[in-house]
Amino acid sequence: MIRNVAIIGLGLLGGSIGLAIRDHAPDLRTTGFDRDPEVREAAKARGLVSAVCETAEDTVREADLVILCVPVGAMEEAARSFADALPDGVIVSDVGSSKQSVGKALAAALPGRTIIPAHPVAGTEQSGPEAGFSSLFTNRWCILTPEAGTDPAAIEAVTAFWTTLGANVEIMEAEHHDLVLAVTSHIPHLIAFTIVGTASDLEEVTRSEVIKYSAGGFRDFTRIAASDPVMWRDVFLSNKSAVLEMLGRFSEDLTALQRAIRSGDGDTLHDLFSRTRAIRRQVIEEGQDDDRPDFGRDDHG
């Protein structure tokens, strides 16, 4: 039974977990820590957790579940910072976007502990202690990637926890997770960062023109490319092999389209563009996006 949840890192994800617990599981007690004193102050002001602690060790002392909500490159150091204060029987989890590297980092920092790596597939382009909200996980998937041999009761407890916060839980191997998320999240982010960078560096087209005419499609990419730089740097470095593999596939396909444009092969373009339209319908049918045109932005229509 989970009664006390310790949240390490009080940004968008950590803060949203705290607020979601307050709304959906008010009987749980939450403690929280962030190494940035200003974030701790903001977390207190917003009431993200029941108690903001001054050290990571104090945060975890009575926890049944510790959730690391720090960039994936900072997981190991963060875990070491509270390792000596962990009580018996505690479950340690996280919210990192790559899972093989986090699994290894936590196993190295916390030998003998019950570790259940997790990734709630949810977020916005904003970050920091002001960015979280309690419905972030509603109808979103949370993927758990426990090693073979992990205590089934612990897996069940973490599953119940995320279900309470509104998420649907799925269990898969860390390696497969990293491949799937490379496609559905990491490559889309990398592409968005790239095109926004390309556009802002052009000599023939001014920055002001790029901004003014962004409603033609570019503005969607700027949203994704506004995501937290440290978080994303760490994601790409920690999921290097899957990202490079999927980037290779994408580049091949882009080259094929480039050739179709150059040779005036309209049928190839039309066939692809018709197929991709069908994927959008499935995303909406599965409840993974808003079905209003343009995401309902600007309250159009």
List the interface residues with a second copy, window 104-163 (CB under 8 A). 121-126, 131, 133, 135-136, 138, 140-141, 143
* ∠ Cα 287 293 299 (to 5°): 105
Which helix (H) or strand (E) covers residue 185, if one does? none
Please, which residue, 55 or 251, has the CB nearer to a second copy? 251
Beta carbon of residue 111, minimum distance to a second copy (angstroms, whole number): 26
Neighbours of 27 (CB within 10 A): 6
CB 170, CB 142: distance < 8 Å: yes
Angle between helices 37-46 and 12-24 (to 10 degrees): 20
Which helix (H) or strand (E) covers residue 5, if one does? strand 4-8
**Choices 57-65, 83-91, 156-164, 269-277 (CB under 8 A): range interacting with a second copy:** 269-277
**Choices 2-10, 43-51, 87-95, 200-208 (CB under 8 A): range interacting with a second copy:** 200-208
Please, which residue, 87 or 213, has the CB nearer to a second copy? 213
Q: Is 55 in the site for a second copy (CB under 8 A)?
A: no
Please, which residue, 29 or 176, has the CB nearer to a second copy? 176
Beta carbon of residue 83, minimum distance to a second copy (angstroms, whole number): 25
Residues 59-78 that bind a second copy (CB under 8 A): 73
Residues 165-184 that bind a second copy (CB under 8 A): 170, 179-181, 183-184
Please, which residue, 21 or 143, has the CB nearer to a second copy? 143
Q: Is 2 in the site for a second copy (CB under 8 A)?
A: no
Cα 111 from chain centre: 25
**What is d(CA 104, CA 83) in angstroms, rounded to the nearest whole number?**
15
Please name the residue ranges forming H helices in the chain: 12-24, 37-46, 56-60, 75-82, 100-109, 152-164, 174-181, 187-200, 207-212, 218-224, 229-238, 240-262, 266-285
**Choices 38-46, 61-69, 150-158, 236-244 (CB under 8 A): range interacting with a second copy:** 236-244
**Choices 36-44, 79-87, 144-152, 263-271 (CB under 8 A): range interacting with a second copy:** 263-271
How many chain residues touch a second copy (CB under 8 A)? 111
Which residues, other chains included, contact 117 with Cβ-Cβ below 8 Å and sequence gap of 6+? Answer: 93, 94, 96, 99, 102, 103, 106, 144, 145, 146, 174
Q: Is 275 in the site for a second copy (CB under 8 A)?
A: yes
CA dihedral 102, 103, 107, 113 (to 10 degrees): 110
Binding mask 11-40 for a second copy (x = CB under 8 A): ------------------------------
Beta carbon of residue 70, minimum distance to a second copy (angstroms, whole number): 16
DSSP 186: I
Please, which residue, 77 or 213, has the CB nearer to a second copy? 213
Please, which residue, 1 or 279, has the CB nearer to a second copy? 279
- Among 47, 87, 89, 229, interactor with a second copy by CB under 8 A: 229
Q: Is 47 in the site for a second copy (CB under 8 A)?
A: no
Per-residue HEC secondary structure of 118-174 comes to EEECCCCCCCCCCCCCCCCCCCCEEEECCCCCCCHHHHHHHHHHHHHCCCEEEECCH
Nearest to 164 by CA among 69, 26, 66, 32: 26
Q: Is 45 in the site for a second copy (CB under 8 A)?
A: no
